[in-house]
A and B are shown apart, each in its own frame.
Chain A
Amino acid sequence: MAGILKKATFSDLLKRMKVTLKTMFKPTVTVHYPFEKVKPRKRFRGIHALKLNPDGSYRCEACYLCATMCPSNVIDIEMTEGENGEKVLLDFTVDLTRCLFCGLCVEACPRDAIVMTDIYEFSKYSIDKLILHKDDLMEIGKYYQKWERENKE
């Protein structure tokens, strides 16, 4: 009996129209992406960067820990021996076409040299631009260190 009454009076329909009317005058929740951007969280894993010491020298010691940890062989390091027998970093390559963005390299690094930034827009017109070399990574590193100072906990 109650079911028939419900059917006849369209109470369900009225209930639904109430929701529609309510949402109609609320501000929209969608973000107009290329013009507005949502800021990623602090833990977000974007593209890689290499940090520099305060005096401008490389933090990376070419210990190959990140390269061995990487599940998909993204990182490639070239190094030679310096004058006093220490390791000198020649080139540090990150192949973004293969990267999973799992963050294992960051955890493996004993000297906090390789980090992940909050950059998520890195599409390029050609593939070879997606392979980042040492200088590119340093540039991003400068951006990251600025970001890090601003977002200190």
Chain B
Amino acid sequence: MGNRITIPFGSQHVALPEPIRFVFQTENEKIVDVEVDVGYVHRGIEKACMTKFKYTQVGYVVARVCGLCAISHTLGYVTAVERLMNIEVPKKALYLRLLASELDRVHSHLLAMGHLAEVAGYENLFMHTFRDRELVMELQELVTGNRIQFDYVTVGGVNRDLTPEVEKELREKLKILQEKCLWLKDVFENDYTIKLRWKGVGVITPEMAIELNVVGPPARASELATDVRNEFNYLPFKEVGYKLITMKGGDIYARNMVRVEETLNSLDMLFNILDGMPEGDIKVPVKGLPEGEAFVRIEAPRGELFYYVKGSKKMVLDRLRIRVPTFANVPVMKELFIGMDYADVPATVISFDPCLSCTAR
């Protein structure tokens, strides 16, 4: 038996894009105990939404919770309020929301894949992935007006329409992007080094996934068929060729492959959305005030995002509660680390694609 050593990992670490803190107790190279602390970027957004902002403005504030899944947060809030106020959103607005949300998913998954390649020590692949991601960012600026904070979705519809020039450029760029993503898939699937590094590391068994309530791509990587896009009816996903993707294995490699496949599926869906774009208004006027309670579940790029909204005929909401996917994935991370080599920790953490500014809010 070796000595027990305490190793702090984070809150600032080279392998971590965001501040989370783990304190590992290790015995030689094996981890025997771990503590997690997530509250480094608390900004009090929930409280601000309940005191300072009107319900029409909250959608723009919750978008600032997270940079990568900005559209999912706004979408969650807006859907909840629309259900409270019985607003019928035009079909075209729904399709435009779908377009923005899938573009967002592609960009977020490409970021996750790139970071994962980086922590495996594969700097070139990281650069390649990020170069391709730049294309999606440009498309987002083209459609919504900004690269990251879209402010595209509002209560009752969307803010900006799709003009023919924009649509033409979208199609051209998406075609290039699809080729690049297919090439990336080929690399991630067949590369010997990546397989050696990722196969069999950080395995989540299906039983473990059910017990600890894993969400998002990590859950789908361990054969758990859970996807809110499939279960909860908030956007017409089934009309545009949505496929549920699950993988066997549950290791880092499978999680990455789920992301790759989902990116390709999202690109297919984007083409279908552009082909089947209905005519009509993009926005309906909103009257009245929200009353009652609503629960909404949204599939953010990282998993199930949960919104609870309560209003009582006032301009300011009574309660807004956000539960984010990364928060749901922290317990399984903790479970995984025990008995693992310390050297595998960065890759495992990044394979969950943690978003800590979401978690702390």
* A103–B151 CB distance below 8 A: yes
Q: Are B149 and A43 in contact (CB under 8 A)?
A: no
Contact with A along B116-160 (1 / 0, CB 8 A): 000000001000100100100010011111100101000000011
Q: Which of B36-44, B57-65, B338-346 contacts A (4 or more CB under 8 A)?
A: B57-65
Q: Is the CB of A102 within 8 A of B163?
A: no
* B211 part of interface (Cβ distance < 8 Å): no
B135 to chain A, nearest CB (A): 10
The reply to whether the CB of A100 lies closer than 8 angstroms to some CB of chain B is: yes
**Contact residue among A7, A19, A100 (Cβ-Cβ distance under 8 Å from B64):** A100
Q: Are A7 and B151 in contact (CB under 8 A)?
A: no
| CA gap between A46 and B270 in the complex, in Å | 28
Task: Give CA–CA (A96, B145) in the complex, Å.
Answer: 18
* B53:A71 contact, CB within 8 angstroms: yes
Shortest A31–chain B CB gap in Å is 10
Contact assessment for A102 and B191 in the assembled complex, using a CB-CB cutoff below 8 Å:
no
Q: Which of A20, A29, A43, A102 is in CB contact (< 8 Å) with B141? A: A43
A12 within 8 Å of B by Cβ? yes
Residues of A within 8 Å of B134, CB to CB, are: 29
- Asked whether B191 lies within 8 Å of A41 as measured between CB atoms, the reply is no
- State the main secondary structure of chain B at its contact with A: helix
Q: Are B141 and A41 in contact, CB atoms less than 8 angstroms apart?
A: yes
Tell me which residues across on chain A come within 8 A of B64, comparing CB atoms: 100
Is B12 engaged at the interface, CB distance under 8 Å to the other chain? no
Known contacts A20-B124, A40-B141, A43-B142; is A100 also within 8 Å of B193 by CB? no
- Is A139 part of the binding interface, using a Cβ–Cβ cutoff of 8 Å? no
- Tell me how far the C-beta of A141 lies from the nearest C-beta in chain B, rounded to whole angstroms: 19
Of B60, B128, B193, the contact of A12 (CB 8 Å cutoff): B193
Q: Which of B57, B142, B146, B192 interacts with A7 by CB under 8 Å?
A: B192
Main secondary structure of the interface of A (DSSP, over half): loop
The interface size of chain A toward B, counting residues with CB under 8 Å, comes to 21
Residues of A within 8 A of B145 (CB): 41, 43-45, 103
**In the complex, what's the smallest C-beta–C-beta distance from A120 to chain B, in angstroms?**
10
**What separation, in Å, do the CA atoms of A31 and B149 have in the docked complex?**
22
Tell which of B128, B146, B193 touches A45, judged by Cβ atoms closer than 8 Å. B146
Residues from chain A with a CB closer than 8 A to the CB of B124 are 16, 19-20
Residue of A nearest to B190 (CB): A12
- Does A107 interact with chain B (Cβ within 8 Å)? yes
User: Which B residues are CB-close (under 8 A) to A6?
Assistant: 192
Would you give the 0/1 interface string for B183-208, flagging 1 where the beta carbon is closer than 8 Å to chain A?
00000001111000000000000000
A71 touches B57 (CB 8 A): yes
- The answer to whether B53 and A12 have CB atoms under 8 Å apart is no
Q: Is A143 an interface residue (CB 8 A)?
A: no
Chain B CB within 10 Å, residue with most, of A6, A71, A107, A153? A71
CB atoms of A43 and B191 under 8 A apart:
no
Partner of B149, one of A7, A16, A29, A101: A101
A131 within 8 A of B: no
**How far in angstroms is the closest Cβ of chain A from B289?**
16
A104 on the B face (CB < 8 A):
yes
CB distance from B324 to the nearest CB of A (A): 21
B149 touches A41 (CB 8 A): no
Asked whether B146 lies within 8 Å of A101 as measured between CB atoms, the reply is yes
Write out the residue numbers on chain B whose beta carbons fall within 8 Å of the beta carbon of A41.
138, 141-142, 145
Q: How far is the CB of A11 from chain B (nearest CB, A)?
A: 9
State the CA gap A104–B64 with chains docked (Å).
15
Interface pair B192/A103, CB less than 8 Å apart: no
Contact in complex: B146, A100 (CB < 8 Å): no
Please state if B159 and A103 are interface contacts (CB–CB under 8 Å).
Answer: yes
Contact status B191-A12, CB under 8 Å: yes
Q: Can you name 30 A-B pairs with beta carbons within 8 Å?
A: A7-B192, A12-B191, A16-B191, A19-B124, A19-B128, A40-B141, A41-B138, A41-B142, A43-B142, A43-B143, A43-B144, A43-B145, A43-B160, A44-B141, A44-B145, A45-B145, A45-B146, A45-B151, A69-B57, A71-B60, A100-B64, A100-B151, A101-B146, A101-B149, A102-B151, A103-B159, A104-B60, A104-B151, A153-B163, A153-B165
Interface residues of B (CB under 8 A from A): 53, 56-57, 60-61, 64, 124, 128, 131, 134, 138, 141-146, 149, 151, 159-160, 163, 165, 190-193
Inter-chain pairs besides A41-B138, A43-B145, 15 sampled, C-beta below 8 Å: A6-B192, A12-B191, A12-B192, A29-B134, A43-B141, A43-B144, A43-B160, A44-B146, A71-B53, A100-B151, A101-B149, A102-B60, A102-B149, A103-B145, A104-B151
Q: Which residues of A contact B (CB under 8 A)?
A: 6-7, 12, 16, 19-20, 29, 40-41, 43-45, 69, 71, 100-104, 107, 153
